[in-house]
Amino acid sequence: MSGPDLSESTGLISPAARDALQTWLEHQRALKGAAENTITAYQGDVADFLAFMTQHKAQLQGLGALAKITITDMRAWMARTRGPNVGPRSMARKLSAVKAFYRWLAEREGFEPTAVLSTRAPKYQKKLPRPLAVDAAKALIDCVEIQSDRPWVAARDVAVLTLLWGCGLRISEALGLKGRDAPLPDTLRIVGKGGKERVVPVLPAARDAVEAYCRLCPHPPEADGPLFRAIRGGALSQRAIAQVMADARMQLGLPATATPHAMRHSFATHLLDAGGDLRAIQELLGHASLSTTQAYTAVDTARLMEVYNRTHPKAG
């Protein structure tokens, strides 16, 4: 697979730096298993940084020059990058990409990247996801079921949302299911972000919803084709499902945070509230870090201490 296109920034990036960036991106893809969306973001963020340094220094920056970047240079880049369309969260992401590139480049070229790695990201308040209450999630699915005047479309939308809520799938994972996956088995083998594979139990409600959709769908099933079809038979888009939920939440008076991804949040939260194990929920969601699962489930310190005090052998 060819690397990302750097043509837009070619004139502002030295050939050596451009080649290094391409090599690093391939390293991220092949050895780190980074997703294509991540690769694209890395490419844009680091290319913009390299292009800025050319303009800032008024000459193309080869690898030797890039090894001599100072704290002042980093501050100039951050000051120029921050703006109305680049908030603290986006700035932190860009800096993270530049640091990752520099760690790799410094190891390869044998220099000390202290100025880059010591640069601090702007502070920002992490937004906790807002899961739906159980009755709100049920109401959304009930509402979606009567929204379309095409019974097969209504059944399709119910099936997708039931997979998000009942199995904790990402919307991309649900829409990535193929015709050969139906009828759904007791467990699904899902390949998520970064190629990370996990096994997800399929609830009877989700299996029944998919079967109901398959019975009504007018488009002949294709083993290698998408399981969930758009009106004309093509693959169903994430935007279409987002619109379905937008229409339903307006009817129900739910907030704008009631999105397809909120159904996945709700899966985690409702499992935890029912006594589910945080580590097991992490596996079901496919999170590499337990802290990510804690954010999804809005776990607070008091709740964690309660679990600790109840289960740790030395607590008694």
Known catalytic residues are: 170, 193, 261, 264, 287, 296
> Pick from 19, 102, 15: which is nearest to 61 by CA?
15
Task: Give the type of residue at 77.
Answer: W
Tokens of 196: 């990370």
> Which positions ≥6 away from 178 have C-beta within 8 Å?
223, 224, 225, 226, 227
**What are 83's strand-pairing partners?**
86
R_g of the chain computed on alpha carbons: 24
Task: Report whether 296 contacts 265 (CB < 8 A).
Answer: yes
What is each CA distance from 102 to 17, 34, 70, 163, in whole angstroms?
11, 17, 13, 40
